[in-house]
């Protein structure tokens, strides 16, 4: 029996099979969960096919920037499941031109977009779904080390992820006492996703991670998924407000060893 047997959850943020949300969804199904999925209108057919691969027909449109969609979300969930045991929020967006060059050149509109979609959406979506969440439900979102440290070209997304991680703490404090709902984040290592492809010099980030992380490699979706299922399950019943690093240990490094620098040079040949 899987650790999510008998539990129902909503996955928000799948775009394709390279999405972090897809890796989490696969792991959830493997552990016995029943899932619903949301989609943005341009990706409807793609998300429906992915949902079918995981045995789900529960798919509905949800644009986190659309207030009407947020209001409709609990109705959609109640129609499909009654109540859910967990929510996975894997949503982020920034203008491509904001993810290269200097952070000081961030535009007002670019800042608003990144913070709205990447951070506020967790707050808005969680609030909207409270009526259809079980009292011991778990909420999980996805962050990145750029929330804590300067990552070249990550720019406004780093600020948005910092706001996201802070929101996790405040939501955990709000929703723990009465609802018993836990809220956590995974700080994922860099993964080749659709959104990551818009970050300038992302290939170099992957090479650096591979050569300098203690576990000497880049993170795969199959490695990320099990940590997510743990945080969504009753096994983590006493964990809330946390950001768990799943990044091959890269976040502990202060500088690269000489051996790591040599490996990086070898990779560049």
Active site amino acids: 144, 154
DSSP 214-251: TT-S---HHHHHHHHHHHHSGGGTT--S-EEEESTTGG
Helix (H) or strand (E) holding 77: helix 67-80
- Angle of the 221-232 helix axis to the 20-30 helix axis, nearest 10: 60
CA-nearest of 161, 157, 159, 156 to 105 is 156
| Burial of 241: CB neighbours in 10 Å, binned 0-12, 13-18, 19+ | middle
CB atoms within 10 A of CB 43: 16
CA-nearest of 220, 222, 221, 208 to 250 is 208
Tokens encoding 43: 């990706």
Tokens encoding 230: 């743990």
CB 136 within 8 A of CB 180: yes
Tokens encoding 103: 């952070």
């Amino acid at each position: 029996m899987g650790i999510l047997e008998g539990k129902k959850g909503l996955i928000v943020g799948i775009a394709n099979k390279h999405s972090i949300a897809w890796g989490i969804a696969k792991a959830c199904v493997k552990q016995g969960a029943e899932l619903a999925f949301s989609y943005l209108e341009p990706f409807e057919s793609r998300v429906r096919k992915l949902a079918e691969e995981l045995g789900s027909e529960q798919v509905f449109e949800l644009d986190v920037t659309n207030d009407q969609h947020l209001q409709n979300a609990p109705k959609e969930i109640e129609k499909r499941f009654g109540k859910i045991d967990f929510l996975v929020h894997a949503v982020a967006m920034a203008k491509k031109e904001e993810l290269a060059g200097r952070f000081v050149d961030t535009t007002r509109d670019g800042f608003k977009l990144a913070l709205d979609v990447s951070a506020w959406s967790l707050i808005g979506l969680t609030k909207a779904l409270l009526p259809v969440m079980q009292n011991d439900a778990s909420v999980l979102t996805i962050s990145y080390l750029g929330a804590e440290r300067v990552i070249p070209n990550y720019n406004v997304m780093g600020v948005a992820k910092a706001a996201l991680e802070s929101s996790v703490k405040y939501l955990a404090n709000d929703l723990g006492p009465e609802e018993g709902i836990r809220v956590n984040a995974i700080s994922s290592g860099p993964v080749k996703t659709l959104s990551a492809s818009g970050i300038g010099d992302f290939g170099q980030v992957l090479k650096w991670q591979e050569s300098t992380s203690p576990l000497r490699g880049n993170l795969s979706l199959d490695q990320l998924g099990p940590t997510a299922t743990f945080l969504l399950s009753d096994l983590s019943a006493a964990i809330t407000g946390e950001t768990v690093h799943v990044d091959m240990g890269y976040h502990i490094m202060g500088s690269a060893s000489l051996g790591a620098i040599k490996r990086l040079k070898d990779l560049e040949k």
